[in-house]
Amino acid sequence: MNVRDIPDEWWKCISTARHAMDDYIPGPNEDRGPNYGRTFHNRCLLCTTTRRVTIDVMGQIVESRYDWPDGYREARKEARLEYSTDDMRLEHMRRVRAARKERDL
């Protein structure tokens, strides 16, 4: 994937190394985690990455897993090869300004 083809929703997560996670309930065919402890499920509101964390009865994290949308990890790798962290943030701001300009037309 060309870096310029990365969707804006992914770019925000990639450039800031953060996700806008919210709780969610996995569907009937989705992995719900192990049958012990307490499992928390989160999904990024922007890029749809999911995170599953399982905590045992002692409060220890026994499993932590991320599942990324198809192509996301490759896009992140390409972006990190082509841009420095500062340049990624600048590219994010360029995209935000362009979207605002487009919206205001």
Q: What is the pLDDT of residue 3?
A: 73
Q: What is the pLDDT of residue 1?
A: 62
**Domain, as residue range, for 13:** 3-100
Any domain includes 31: yes
Any domain includes 52: yes
Q: What is the pLDDT of residue 60?
A: 94
Any domain includes 35: yes
Within the chain, which residues score under 50 in pLDDT? none
Any domain includes 105: no
Any domain includes 27: yes
DSSP classification of residue 69 = P
Sheet with 21-23: strands ordered across:
21-23, 38-44, 50-55, 61-67
Per-residue model confidence as pLDDT tens digits over 44-72: 999 999 999 999 999 999 999 999 999 99
- In total, how many domains does the chain have? 1
